[in-house]
Amino acid sequence: MRDRVNYGNDKSDWAGRGIRPRVALALWLTVGFVFFEASAGILANSLALLTDAAHNLTDVVALALSMFALRLQARPASPERTYGFHRVGILVALVNSGGLMVMSLLVLLEAYHRILEPPNVQAWPLMAVGAAAFLVNLVTALLIRRRGETDLNLRSTFLHLMGDVASTAAAVAAGVGIYLTGANWLDPAASAIIAVLILVAAWRVLREAIGILLEATPPDVDMNALVNDVLSVQGVLDVHDLHVWSLSKNLRTMSAHVLTDDAGISAGDRLRSQIIALLAAEYNIGHVTLQLESGACGSGELFCEMESRAHAHPV
């Protein structure tokens, strides 16, 4: 009988088995190109190419971590992990974005030194390898683009790859500029611009990942509007002890106490179903836990102070 227990598994396999072969293909394409581009960067003495090769190397780590996270996310919930492994992808996004920020700062430091004393850069290898890298990075980014819109793990990886697309385009532009003008400082300048763009984008992903891990309210959820919408449901008298948070970018959860008239169980079920349908349609909240009450319960605060209650009722 114990094997029959259902812990709320999502049988739709939201992690998506279909995306994993694409991530694997992107991983092996990136691994092969890292060695080629790093060698070309050393031969051409190009910081732009070496920067892009380093970024590609972090992409290898990002893609590998994403593969690992996708496999874990597909596992069902269990007695030990009743929410399953949904937050593994958020941890991967945290690591990926944090690594991107560190790499960008190191590139900015090196670019600063090279702008002060520009080394001689060979333009033709920079342009040729940069163009090839642009195509490889664009293909790998497109392989995971669609799922990157709804999965923060894949979004952070997609950010890695699109950063490579931008950096290789800048490397090609720098190569053209050096070929036409002989201005070797264009190479580190291109790397600095790329690093700043990557730094800003990585910070956005990092901030979102931290917000999810801290169980912050999703940024696009207006809590005042949500409360007013719930209160507009016929039969709802008040709402308190309200919490809205995310397990992952596309999996939101809410719990609340709802004050209503002293009605029967069937009437309470209808009221609960109306509220759940409203929250799913208007706020994309798919997992809702409601406690229906016919009298004042607890403090009645809209957002309960859990720590103060823990001290008031010691175990």
CATH of 223-312, one of 3.30.70.1350, 3.30.70.141, 3.30.1490.190, 3.40.50.720: 3.30.70.1350
> Using CA atoms, how far apart are residues 170 and 49, in angstroms rounded to an integer?
10
> Using CA atoms, how far apart are residues 287 and 300, in angstroms rounded to an integer?
23
* More confident call, 203 vs 69: 203
- At residue 6, what is the residue type? N
* CATH superfamily, region 2-213: Cation efflux protein transmembrane domain (1.20.1510.10)
Task: Specify which of 105-114, 190-199, 278-287 reaches the highest per-range mean pLDDT.
Answer: 278-287
State the average pLDDT over residues 185-206: 82
CB-CB neighbours of 266 under 10 Å: 8
Average pLDDT over the chain, rounded to whole? 76
* More confident call, 309 vs 62: 62
89-145, pLDDT tens digit by residue?
A: 788 788 878 887 887 888 888 888 888 887 777 777 777 877 887 887 788 777 776
Residue 311 half-sphere exposure toward CB, CA atoms < 13 A:
3
19 three-state secondary structure: helix
> Using CA atoms, how far apart are residues 254 and 36, in angstroms rounded to an integer?
49
Q: Give me the pLDDT at residue 297, please.
A: 52
Domain range list for the chain: 2-213, 223-312
pLDDT classification of 313: cutoffs 50, 70, 90: very low
* pLDDT at 212 exceeding the cut of 80: yes
Claim: this prediction has a pTM higher than 0.75: no
313 contact partners, CB below 8 Å, separation of at least 6: none
Q: Give me the pLDDT at residue 305, please.
A: 53
Secondary structure element (H or E) that encloses residue 111, with its range = helix 88-116
Alpha helix (H) residue ranges in 117-264:
123-148, 152-181, 186-213, 223-231
Residue with tokens 């971590």: 65
pLDDT classification of 9: cutoffs 50, 70, 90: very low
232-241, pLDDT tens digit by residue?
A: 999 899 998 8
pLDDT classification of 215: cutoffs 50, 70, 90: confident
